[in-house]
Amino acid sequence: MKLNDMNSIEALNWRYATKKFDAETLLPESKIDTLKHAFRLTATSYGLQPMKLLVIQDKNAQQKIQTLCMNQQQIGTASHLLILCTVQNINEDFIEKYFTKVKQIRNTPDKIIQPFQDFLTEDFKEKTKQEIETWAVNQVYLAMGNLLTVCAQEKIDACPMEGFQQLEINRFLELEKLGLSAALLLPVGIRAADDIFADFKKVRKPLEEIVIDWKNQ
Ligand X SMILES: Cc1cc2nc3c(=O)[nH]c(=O)nc-3n(C[C@H](O)[C@H](O)[C@H](O)COP(=O)(O)O)c2cc1C
The contact set with ligand X (CB under 6 A) reads 16-17, 19, 72, 159-163, 202
Nearer to ligand X by C-beta: 121 or 138? 138
User: Smallest distance from the beta carbon of 8 to ligand X, in angstroms?
Assistant: 15
Nearest-5° angle of CA 63, CA 142, CA 208? 110
Nearer to ligand X by C-beta: 129 or 205? 205
Nearer to ligand X by C-beta: 17 or 112? 17
DSSP alpha helices (H): ranges in the chain? 8-14, 29-40, 59-67, 73-77, 92-106, 110-125, 129-154, 166-172, 207-210
C-alpha to C-alpha distance for 212 and 24, rounded to whole angstroms: 45
DSSP letter at 191 equals: B
User: Smallest distance from the beta carbon of 34 to ligand X, in angstroms?
Assistant: 20
Which residue number is nearest to ligand X in terms of Cβ? 163
User: Smallest distance from the beta carbon of 99 to ligand X, in angstroms?
Assistant: 31
Nearer to ligand X by C-beta: 146 or 160? 160
User: Smallest distance from the beta carbon of 84 to ligand X, in angstroms?
Assistant: 10
Helix (H, G, I), strand (E, B) or coil at 21: strand
Helix (H, G, I), strand (E, B) or coil at 80: strand
Nearer to ligand X by C-beta: 84 or 95? 84
State the DSSP H helix or E strand holding residue 51, giving kind and residue range, or none if neither: strand 51-56
User: Smallest distance from the beta carbon of 75 to ligand X, in angstroms?
Assistant: 9
Q: Are 82 and 54 within 8 A, CB to CB?
A: yes
